[in-house]
């Protein structure tokens, strides 16, 4: 049995879906279950290995759709300047070499009106990630490297811009594995034994090449543009769907009609073709079963398996920083970190010792930095950037969240595993899973139409209450008790049970 996990893309600032997959990879390794993680987006900005390795995947676990049809392995970029220089085939062999920017060098051949710009992995380094070929001031080709040349893009000038019209993907020996012809949104894939007229056809071709059997399992983490093809071409393999977010719109649903989240609508409408669904929490599992019964008069198999786990409970090596708060997330609008800043500023007027650290990166970073300055709070509210928080949570006394929706909440899990009391909104599903009101923190009543000032006031009051009226040690012990339920050994057993059941179906 092999478990194939399907996603679209991956980047340096990964979402909860990618982190959930990385956690799953660790668990499947520990139970000796072979697994592959398939990424189907065309990724041009970076060698995919750098992105997958950064989040914790092993190279032999990763399949990139576009690289799959070559014999080049997923590998870090090691292609050197010497290799590039040897590959240049201009008539004028000796060119002018100059630096252009901190991580790029240019080989110029004035007599031929050509130059090649090499983009380096590191400043002043020898490893080349990409090379761009320009002739008579027109971009004509880009080459992308790992340990050899993986693929090339070919360009033509149109309306004073360079347009890609072809990509060639290579084998290790330099032979062409296949070609992609591009005309705007239209694309065609040319193989020695097949001609494919769309990305959909390419995914279908890939599914066929996997040669899936009844012992294999497909897990669909993201379905946009690929879901229907996977549903139609998984053959005898078991098909599973992971629910990573709230799966419906409550305001748009009625007693007779449910408005599914459009990311899951196709999967739910075809639920009888799905061997199992996975939710991260028991609460979402229970609600989904109720809704399927009510609206479809059919209840599919739904398993509850946390998308993350704790290798162990983490206790502070030294005394926690007094009056310290933290939050950790993508700095995105829906996380409402600005609400937390307002609440901490208000609470600081009552508890001057209070300090608050914000971990993460994202589109809201500049806005949040300005807000901290405007509130004259730079001495006690700090943006700490993206860091590995494994051994940082336990330095703090409490964790804050103002997210209005958490399908699970990996940072919430990590916080309780480090014994942190939590303050968050009473919203599905993560907060309600990890926060026991008045036991290990506070759940704050919240509705979408509630006035922002009232929500901030509630957050402020609970921060003050936590540090003035509550027994922090009791709250911390309660968080550790919740954390025990999510130890890796517990999650491993859930995966073993599910996969064991599928083997016997």
Q: Tell me the pTM.
A: 0.85
Cα–Cα distance for residue pair 443/370, rounded to 1 Å: 29
Are 332 and 480 found together in one domain?
Answer: yes
CATH code for position 367: 3.40.50.2000
Check residue 13 and give its pLDDT.
Answer: 77
Cα–Cα distance for residue pair 95/175, rounded to 1 Å: 27
Check residue 406 and give its pLDDT.
Answer: 83
Question: First CA to last CA across the chain, in angstroms?
Answer: 13
Check residue 250 and give its pLDDT.
Answer: 87
Are 365 and 442 found together in one domain?
Answer: yes
Are 23 and 131 found together in one domain?
Answer: no
CA distances to 85, 91, 97, 141 from 94, in Å: 10, 9, 9, 20
Beta strand 398-400 with 302-304: parallel, antiparallel or unpaired? unpaired
Q: What is the pLDDT of residues 242-262, one digit of tens each?
A: 999 889 998 899 999 999 999
Are 52 and 95 found together in one domain?
Answer: no
- Domain range enclosing 88: 81-190
CA distances to 171, 174, 192, 223, 233 from 178, in Å: 9, 12, 7, 25, 22
How many residues appear in the chain? 505
**Burial degree of 245 (CB within 10 A; 0-12, 13-18, 19+):** middle
Check residue 92 and give its pLDDT.
Answer: 57
Which residue ranges in the chain fall short of pLDDT 70? 90-95
| Boundary residue ending a domain (166, 190, 214) | 190
490, part of any domain: no
494, part of any domain: no
Cα–Cα distance for residue pair 467/463, rounded to 1 Å: 7
Check residue 91 and give its pLDDT.
Answer: 60
How many CA atoms are closer than 13 Å to the CA of 465, on its beta-carbon side?
A: 17
Of the candidates 218, 222, 242, the residue with the CA atom closest to the CA atom of residue 232: 218
Are 206 and 250 found together in one domain?
Answer: yes
CA 296 to chain centre: 32
DSSP letters spanning 381-449: EEEEES---TTTGGGSSEEE---S-BSS-HHHHHHHHTT--EEEES-TBHHHHH--BTTTEEEEP--TT
Are 286 and 141 found together in one domain?
Answer: no
| Boundary residue ending a domain (160, 190, 220) | 190
Are 114 and 47 found together in one domain?
Answer: no
Check residue 205 and give its pLDDT.
Answer: 98
Q: Is 162 helix (H, G, I), strand (E, B) or coil?
A: strand
Are 460 and 417 found together in one domain?
Answer: yes
User: For residue 22, what are the contacts with CB-CB under 8 A and spacing of at least 6?
Assistant: 55, 56, 57
Q: For residue 6, what is the DSSP state? A: E
373, part of any domain: yes
Q: What is the pLDDT of residues 357-406, one digit of tens each?
A: 999 999 999 999 999 999 999 999 999 999 999 999 999 999 999 999 88
Are 95 and 38 found together in one domain?
Answer: no
Are 58 and 87 found together in one domain?
Answer: no
**Burial degree of 402 (CB within 10 A; 0-12, 13-18, 19+):** buried
Check residue 347 and give its pLDDT.
Answer: 98
Cα–Cα distance for residue pair 99/105, rounded to 1 Å: 4
Are 416 and 362 found together in one domain?
Answer: yes
55, part of any domain: yes
Total domains in the fold of the chain = 3
175, part of any domain: yes
331, part of any domain: yes
| Helices and strands: H and E segment counts in the chain | 15, 23
CATH code for position 112: 3.90.930
498, part of any domain: no
Q: Are 314 and 480 in contact (CB under 8 A)?
A: no
Look up tokens 């909440």; give the residue. Answer: 409
Both tokens of 258, joined, read 């449910």
74, part of any domain: no
Are 251 and 185 found together in one domain?
Answer: no
């Amino acid at each position: 049995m092999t478990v194939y996990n399907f996603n679209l893309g991956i980047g340096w600032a990964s979402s909860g879906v990618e982190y959930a997959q990385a956690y799953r990879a660790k668990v499947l390794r520990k139970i000796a279950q072979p697994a592959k993680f398939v990424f189907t987006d065309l990724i041009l900005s970076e060698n995919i290995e750098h992105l997958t390795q950064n989040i914790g995947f092993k190279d032999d676990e990763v399949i990139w759709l576009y690289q799959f049809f070559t014999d080049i392995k997923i590998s870090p970029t090691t292609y050197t300047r010497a290799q590039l220089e040897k590959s240049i085939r201009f008539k004028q062999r000796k060119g002018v070499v100059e630096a252009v920017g901190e991580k790029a060098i240019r080989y110029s051949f004035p007599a031929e009106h050509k130059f090649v710009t090499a983009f380096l992995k590191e400043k002043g380094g020898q490893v080349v990630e990409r090379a761009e070929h320009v002739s008579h001031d027109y971009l004509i080709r880009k080459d992308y490297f790992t340990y050899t040349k993986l693929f090339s893009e070919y360009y033509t000038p149109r309306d004073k811009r360079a347009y890609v019209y072809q990509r060639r993907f290579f084998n290790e020996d330099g032979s062409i594995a296949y070609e992609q012809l591009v005309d705007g949104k239209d694309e065609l894939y040319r193989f020695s034994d097949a001609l494919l007229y769309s990305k959909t056809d390419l995914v279908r071709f890939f599914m066929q090449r996997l040669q899936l059997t009844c012992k294999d399992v497909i897990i669909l983490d993201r379905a946009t543009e690929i879901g229907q093809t996977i549903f139609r071409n998984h053959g005898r393999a078991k098909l599973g769907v992971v629910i990573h977010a709230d799966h419906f719109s409550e305001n748009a649903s009625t007693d007779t009609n449910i408005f599914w989240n459009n990311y899951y609508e196709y999967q739910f409408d075809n639920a009888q073709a799905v061997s199992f669904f996975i939710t991260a929490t028991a609460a979402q599992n229970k609600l989904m079963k109720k809704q399927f019964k009510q609206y479809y008069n059919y209840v599919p198999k739904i398993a509850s398996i946390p998308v993350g786990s704790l290798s162990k409970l983490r206790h502070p090596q030294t005394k926690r920083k007094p009056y310290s708060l933290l939050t950790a997330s993508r700095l995105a609008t829906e996380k409402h970190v600005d609400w937390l800043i307002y609440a901490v500023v208000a609470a600081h007027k009552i508890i001057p010792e209070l300090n608050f650290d914000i971990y993460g990166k994202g589109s809201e970073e500049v806005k949040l930095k300005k807000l901290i300055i405007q509130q004259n709070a730079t001495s006690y509210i700090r943006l700490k950037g993206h860091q590995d928080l494994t051994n940082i949570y336990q330095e703090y006394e409490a964790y804050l969240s103002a997210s209005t929706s958490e399908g699970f909440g990996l940072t919430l899990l990590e916080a309780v595993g480090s014994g942190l009391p939590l303050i968050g909104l009473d919203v599905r599903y993560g907060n309600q899973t990890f926060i026991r009101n008045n036991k290990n923190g506070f759940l704050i009543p919240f509705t979408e139409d509630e006035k922002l000032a009232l929500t901030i006031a509630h957050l402020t009051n609970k921060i003050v209450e936590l540090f003035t009226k509550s027994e922090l040690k009791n709250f911390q012990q309660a968080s550790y008790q919740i954390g025990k339920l999510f130890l890796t050994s517990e999650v491993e057993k859930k995966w073993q049970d599910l996969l064991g059941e599928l083997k016997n179906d």
